[in-house]
A and B are shown apart, each in its own frame.
Chain A
């Protein structure tokens, strides 16, 4: 009996191809902490093939990472970050410059992947993400509506779809109070060509660009599920999959789910397009996800960690998981699902302006905007209150004198 079990275990190990797919066998124990979405699962699984590797995939990684990386020695060797979550690590000096490691082991990386701050590489990007327009091709062509390229066109289209009554709600939106709602404002404000700060980290949103962003958001809510303030990316994705909405500005990383036959009733009907244009740029912001290596570990460990990381983001992994994300890794074949993100970037979408003050601004926006959407405050008061909330938090953080 025991023999059989051991045999079965060995067979399943062989079947899963452990160690087989990695170019070498890793002997240094390596740990990583990253977000938990599908792309990270694929990457860390590929890293695990090298052996002696343990991954923590955690939605609350951003709260753990700064403390864990500040420990001596650091609790993790590899960190998964995005533009915003790299800031606290960079500020605290807990991630190391990677230039020498890139020179030694990074032959397969493209210059596009190297995240440099003042010429020094601190992170290796593996994928980009952005919110862009997804729409039900069948509905739009049935009703003879052209693909919307601006929010004004999107609202016109929504009016027609509502009149036709083919879906519950013409538009879906990631308007959940907090991070999601703030991100929608950021997208629109960047699309209007706004800059969040002036000299000395002072806020700069209470102006016509901020008003325009708020007005667009309110106009969109007219065509949304009235419970929009609790609707996050997963909720909007499900609304699409269940055929309840016709258009949404949704994350590129959610595109694959539209064609997931186990969940979706609209397989092949959802088309990806560029984010609607604001008056200056697409109403979207570019994000990246990538890998950093801790400072507070020995150089040998860092070297081993970097090698493992390179195995995780190699061509083989991308070939096996092509549609999970918009990869930056060589070997990626951008298909129809990546078209929206590509078109958004090509139209000149701006990067998310991640920084210390922006973290505070994002929180203040997330808490403050709902009062305008529910009608409790007018636009000017809302923006003034958000600026006031930002200033008192930034003063406490020491970012504003």
Chain B
């Protein structure tokens, strides 16, 4: 293929990547080093609130943003260096808490609280998704032709459901005297409140994630299972290998590239966990890094939002994902080089 044809094919997608990925990313990166603020003036003003018959009025000092002649709010943008990162990380407080050996104080800082749970969430769900996915794939593979279609459909169902909807429906199964909580109460013969302490919520969030993602792993593994060399499997049977040994020495090594692939996708996805916090309204107990970014970004009733800290938090999340992926990327790179 000559260069011109190549460029014509690749050009549009490079353009799209620049427009929708590189440019916003660069903007976020820049925003994390700058702070834009309205210019406020202090004025004394009287405001009134209606009561039942008369109004209550208060006169007080107020900060009012200055408007220019076009009626736009005058803003100033200043370079603040790493200050926004500092405000997110709160290193001073974190260090103080750690040097006093107080884990509770350390975990009361939003970023570190979110990081602790996000890492745990990612690393605990990873093996469960891989194991669960492989188990489902083997089940589908061994199902008779007659029921294979329905089995695939049912096992894919959690993956098809929109994440927030899935999270909400599981939430309602357990909220208050939901069906499953009522069942647990009957089974354990004691009062159960799933949303009254952190650990039960953490378990629910992780169970939900495994439930919704394992089918994706399963369908990828199922595709991989179709390409397992049947000669190798037959010779293993002749050599007297048990079912488990065949799985361990033939099937899993064959699926290894897919396992690495699923792991990478899952690490990236799970580190960005967000729907779970919203769907289960868990923010009183448990938050994730992505939720923290969202919380900085969402405006309060008076319209303030912390764009700089949100940008810094988003960049930190990206750095976190990159660090997590390094071991897997190095492995892939080694395999790639070894293959040539």
A residues lining the B interface (CB < 8 Å): 62-63, 66, 83-85, 87-88, 91-94, 111-113, 115-119, 125, 128, 176-178, 181, 199, 201, 225-227, 229-230, 235, 286, 288, 295, 328, 342, 345-346, 350-360, 362-363, 367, 370-371, 374, 376-377, 381, 385, 392-393, 396-399
Looking at the complex, which one of B65, B283, B304 makes contact with A359 (CB distance below 8 Å)? B304
B281 with A396: CB separation less than 8 A: no
Chain B 32-75 interface 0/1 with A at a Cβ cutoff of 8 Å (1 = within): 00010111100001111111111110100111110100010100
| Chain B residues whose CB sits within 8 angstroms of the CB of A355 once the complex forms | 62-63, 302
Looking at the complex, which one of A88, A178, A226, A286 makes contact with B56 (CB distance below 8 Å)? A286
A226 CA to B201 CA, complexed, in Å: 13
**A128/B51 contact (C-beta < 8 A), A84-B301, A350-B56 known:** yes
B281 with A177: CB separation less than 8 A: yes
B295 part of interface (Cβ distance < 8 Å): yes
**A357/B193 contact (C-beta < 8 A), A286-B49, A376-B104, A392-B87 known:** no
Task: Give the 5 A-B residue pairs with the shortest CB-CB distance, closest first.
Answer: A359-B302, A398-B37, A88-B303, A177-B284, A351-B49
Looking at the complex, which one of B58, B195, B198 makes contact with A230 (CB distance below 8 Å)? B195
A83 with B193: CB separation less than 8 A: no
B175 part of interface (Cβ distance < 8 Å): yes
A181 CA to B283 CA, complexed, in Å: 12
| Chain A residues whose CB sits within 8 angstroms of the CB of B71 once the complex forms | 93-94, 295
A359 with B301: CB separation less than 8 A: yes
Further 13 A-B residue pairs, CB within 8 A, beyond A227-B196, A288-B50? A85-B301, A92-B73, A112-B54, A113-B50, A116-B48, A176-B281, A177-B281, A177-B283, A225-B193, A227-B194, A356-B63, A370-B284, A396-B84
| Chain B residues whose CB sits within 8 angstroms of the CB of A381 once the complex forms | 105, 108
B193 to chain A, nearest CB (A): 4
A74 CA to B306 CA, complexed, in Å: 25
B residues lining the A interface (CB < 8 Å): 35, 37-40, 45-56, 58, 61-65, 67, 71, 73, 76, 84, 87, 104-105, 107-108, 110, 175-176, 193-198, 281, 283-285, 295, 298-304, 306, 308-309
**A115/B48 contact (C-beta < 8 A), A92-B73, A399-B63 known:** yes
A112 with B299: CB separation less than 8 A: no
A376 with B108: CB separation less than 8 A: yes
10 A-B pairs within 8 Å (CB atoms) are namely A84-B301, A93-B73, A116-B47, A119-B46, A177-B283, A227-B194, A351-B58, A360-B300, A360-B304, A398-B40
B195 with A91: CB separation less than 8 A: no
**A227/B195 contact (C-beta < 8 A), A91-B64, A286-B56 known:** yes
A62 with B301: CB separation less than 8 A: yes
| Chain A residues whose CB sits within 8 angstroms of the CB of B84 once the complex forms | 396
Nearest A residue to B93 via CB reads: A388
Looking at the complex, which one of B47, B52, B108 makes contact with A385 (CB distance below 8 Å)? B108
**A117/B285 contact (C-beta < 8 A), A288-B50, A358-B302, A396-B35 known:** no
Looking at the complex, which one of A113, A288, A350, A354 makes contact with B302 (CB distance below 8 Å)? A354
A112 with B50: CB separation less than 8 A: yes
Nearest A residue to B283 via CB reads: A177
**A362/B49 contact (C-beta < 8 A), A91-B65, A356-B63 known:** no
**A230/B193 contact (C-beta < 8 A), A345-B51, A396-B37, A397-B306 known:** no
A374 CA to B63 CA, complexed, in Å: 35
A119 CA to B194 CA, complexed, in Å: 52
| Chain A residues whose CB sits within 8 angstroms of the CB of B38 once the complex forms | 91, 397-398
B61 to chain A, nearest CB (A): 8
Nearest B residue to A229 via CB reads: B284
Nearest B residue to A360 via CB reads: B304
Nearest B residue to A117 via CB reads: B47
A227 to chain B, nearest CB (A): 4
A225 CA to B301 CA, complexed, in Å: 28
| Chain B residues whose CB sits within 8 angstroms of the CB of A111 once the complex forms | 55
A62 CA to B198 CA, complexed, in Å: 31
A395 to chain B, nearest CB (A): 8
A118 with B295: CB separation less than 8 A: no
| Chain A residues whose CB sits within 8 angstroms of the CB of B285 once the complex forms | 229, 370, 374
